Amino acid sequence: MIDENDVRHIAELADVTVTSGELKKFTSQFNTILEYFDTLDCVEGVTNERTDRCNNFREDEVTHSLPQEELLANASEKEEGFFKAPKVM
Amino acid sequence: MSRGGKLVNMIIGLEVHCQLDTKSKLFCGCSTDYRDDGPNTHSCPICSGLPGSLPSINKKAVEYAIRVAKSLKCEICEESEFSRKNYFYPDLPKGFQITQYDHPLALKGILTIDDDEGLEKIVRITRIHLEEDPGRLVHKGGVDRPKYTLVDYNRSGIPLIEIVTEPDLRSPQEARRYLQKLRATLEYLSVFDSEKEGSLRVDANISIEGSERVEVKNITSYKGVEKALTFEYTRQKNALRRGQKIIRETRHFVEGRGVTTSSRSKEMEQDYRYFPEPDLLPLRVKEWSEKISLPELPDARRERFIEQYSCSPIHAKTLTGDLKVAEFYEKVAKINPVLCATWVADTLLGELYYRNMSVQAVPHERFIELIAILDAGKITEKSAVEVLRNLLDQIKDSGICESPNECIVRLNLGKTGGDAITKAVGEVISEQKTAIKDLKNGKKGAMNFLVGQVMKKIRGRGDPQEINLLLEQALSPGDE
């Protein structure tokens, strides 16, 4: 189980501000999600053992990139072909 | 470090990130050849982190990494896997970097360098792992006071290897030599191009024995490493002398100012919340190592140069310390390999460095012609240097140059014949009465002065030994 301190710490790492109301709400939601995993653990025939599959490679071949406009299509802010983000330093 | 005074031990470990020179990125087919193109023109749903995109591993990048691991005598791990390193920063749009964590590709290698006394020293390699390069950030308004950040994902997903050393280095100079040797090795392996901007980045851990260690990030050049570490060593030593404690922190190297500044990084190791990357299968590539053959590496080439061309050990080391220089030397070492070694290692490299030029710009044939003319005694060494400088200046200006012969004729640098020298000797003897008196009174330096005076008259185009001889003959008592 996680508590409000965990949620506050994760919010800080993600640079997200949370109100005290949200803190309570998210803590309970996080724990609900984590409980699903307990449920999954009860399903028979499911193991967390690794498979033998490995080495799934592609060859070193160049494929098309997206045009700049398309890549930037969903950007809320852009400038001269760059994504524009808040200052981070 | 400090000699004579109180010995303060410096302990340095390096984490070197090198871009592997593949055609496409590590997890998608976007081209890695982005440097001449506009921002965000070499990116796709995978390397820009769009939801639902699925990475797949570039086989060549794994091969290259194994090549490096093998050359550094690492053990390739039976199984390795990729992990997600979670952090919130716009250089990675997914919110995590795909890297290797507790199951890296290779462990435990070595690289041999020279220590500060010139003795052979083994630097232990802790591990080598593969990871994706993050995007490039441009901080608008300056690093000190940015207003906003611009993000370019062209670099995002370029294959990187991170090579981590044990804390075996003991001075900034050793750290620089380690990097130079590593760079040469990577270039010999044809997996890395050091001339590409930003292709090598270094994080350095440095501490003074008994104190906490400090991590210095953002070092992007060979000279930068030495500068950053020298600054950081002085800063830590001064702090300790003032009775302050060194705190464990991450610092940022500001290349332009040659200083490190504290960059309080809030993330601790556990905050990265590493977990195995569910979108990628593990690697079991240990046996690839046997199939990969290594080319001749710098140490082997150095030994061969000594053997095959009779180079001095110092020249052989200089010539093989850079793949392009070694290749150039082998192409021009036709007439007199020893003379050629001196000219490439001692003269040409210095002149190129001074002009910020690469050895690749120098046409082999021109250099061979120049050495041939010099070897045949048709010009003096001094004139040959002048010709070389002229040719390099021409190449720098226009990309092409005249032939050494044309240059010699144009500048009238051909060795002055016997008559002109004899005439100059005669003139100097009649002009420099005081020096001749000094010489007869046993003042040895006077002879050098006289030779210099003759040289001046013939504009340096004579052979000093020949002039010396002529002067001696002219001044011998029998002639008086």
Is B283 within 8 Å of A54 when comparing Cβ atoms?
yes
Selected residue with higher pLDDT from B244 and B4 = B244
Is A58 within 8 Å of B267 when comparing Cβ atoms?
no
User: Tell me: the pLDDT tens digits for B426-439?
Assistant: 888 888 888 888 88
Chain A residues whose beta carbon lies within 8 Å of the beta carbon of residue B282: 50, 54
Residue B413 is predicted with a pLDDT of 78
Q: Which residue from A12, A53, A83 is facing B151, i.e. has the nearest CB?
A: A83
Q: If you measure CA to CA, which chain B residue comes closest to A6?
A: B271
Q: Which residue from B24, B43, B147 is facing A60, i.e. has the nearest CB?
A: B24
Selected residue with higher pLDDT from A15 and B326 = B326
Residue B323 is predicted with a pLDDT of 94
Is B149 within 8 Å of A53 when comparing Cβ atoms?
no
Mutate to test the interface with A, among B22, B140, B149 (most CBs of A within 10 A): B149
Give the predicted TM-score (pTM) of the model: 0.82
Residue B84 is predicted with a pLDDT of 96
Residue B416 is predicted with a pLDDT of 67
> What's the mean pLDDT in B131-152?
84
CA within 13 Å, CB half, B22: 32
Q: If you measure CA to CA, which chain B residue comes closest to A74?
A: B50
> What's the mean pLDDT in B155-169?
97
Chain A residues whose beta carbon lies within 8 Å of the beta carbon of residue B138: 82
Q: With 50 as the cut, is the pLDDT of residue B480 above it?
A: no
Q: If you measure CA to CA, which chain A residue comes closest to B264?
A: A89
User: Tell me: the pLDDT tens digits for A26-43?
Assistant: 999 999 999 998 888 888
Chain B residues whose beta carbon lies within 8 Å of the beta carbon of residue A15: 88
- Cα separations in angstroms, B85 against A25, B102, B131: 27, 11, 10
- The region of weakest confidence among B25-29, B103-107, B177-181, B215-219 is B215-219
Residue B422 is predicted with a pLDDT of 77
Give the phi and the psi of residue B262 in degrees, each rounded to 5: -65, 130
B460: left (phi over 0), alpha (psi -120 to 50) or beta: left
Is B40 within 8 Å of A86 when comparing Cβ atoms?
no
C-beta separation of B28 from B44 below 8 A = yes
Q: What is the CATH number of domain A4-42?
A: 1.10.20
User: Tell me: the pLDDT tens digits for B232-288?
Assistant: 999 999 999 899 888 888 898 988 888 998 876 655 667 888 999 999 999 999 999
Chain B residues whose beta carbon lies within 8 Å of the beta carbon of residue A49: none
Q: With 60 as the cut, is the pLDDT of residue B479 above it?
A: no
| Sheet with B96-99, edge to edge strand ranges | B96-99, B83-86, B275-276
User: Tell me: the pLDDT tens digits for B167-202?
Assistant: 999 999 999 999 999 999 999 999 999 888 889 999
Q: If you measure CA to CA, which chain A residue comes closest to B89?
A: A88
User: Tell me: the pLDDT tens digits for B287-316?
Assistant: 999 999 899 999 999 999 999 999 999 999
Give the contacts of B336 (CB within 8 A, at least 6 positions apart): B371, B375
Residue B43 is predicted with a pLDDT of 96
Q: With 50 as the cut, is the pLDDT of residue B471 above it?
A: yes
Give the contacts of B158 (CB within 8 A, at least 6 positions apart): B19, B20, B25, B26, B32, B132, B133
Is B146 within 8 Å of A84 when comparing Cβ atoms?
no
**Which residues are bridge partners to B118 per DSSP?**
none
Is B48 within 8 Å of A57 when comparing Cβ atoms?
no
User: Tell me: the pLDDT tens digits for B324-377?
Assistant: 999 999 999 988 999 999 999 999 999 999 999 999 999 999 999 999 988 888
Q: If you measure CA to CA, which chain B residue comes closest to A85?
A: B149
Mutate to test the interface with B, among A53, A54, A65, A68 (most CBs of B within 10 A): A65
Is A68 within 8 Å of B41 when comparing Cβ atoms?
yes
- The region of weakest confidence among B208-212, B351-355, B416-420 is B416-420
Q: Which residue from A53, A64, A85 is facing B148, i.e. has the nearest CB?
A: A85
Structure tokens at B83: 């992990």
CB count within 10 Å of CB B280 equals 19
Mutate to test the interface with A, among B22, B43, B130, B150 (most CBs of A within 10 A): B150
C-beta separation of A2 from A35 below 8 A = no
Is B60 within 8 Å of A60 when comparing Cβ atoms?
yes
The structural domains of chain A, with segments of one domain joined by +, span 4-42
- The mean of the pLDDT values for chain B is 89
Inter-chain CB pairs, A–B, below 8 Å? 130
Is A56 within 8 Å of B57 when comparing Cβ atoms?
yes
Give the phi and the psi of residue B276 in degrees, each rounded to 5: -60, 140
Q: Please, what are the domains in chain B?
A: 2-289 (no CATH), 298-411 (no CATH), 419-474 (1.10.10.410)
Q: With 50 as the cut, is the pLDDT of residue B4 above it?
A: no
What distance lies between CA B193 and its chain's CA centroid? 11
Tokens 């997903």 — which residue? B157
Residue B307 is predicted with a pLDDT of 95
> What's the mean pLDDT in A78-88?
89
User: Tell me: the pLDDT tens digits for B43-56?
Assistant: 999 999 999 999 99
Return the SS3 of B321. Answer: coil
- The mean of the pLDDT values for chain A is 88
> What's the mean pLDDT in B215-224?
87
Residue B122 is predicted with a pLDDT of 97
Tell me the C-alpha distance between B15 and B217, whole Å. 10
Chain A residues whose beta carbon lies within 8 Å of the beta carbon of residue B45: 66
CB count within 10 Å of CB B235 equals 16
Question: Which residues of A lie closer than 8 Å to B, measured between beta carbons?
Answer: 12-15, 50, 53-68, 71-72, 79-89
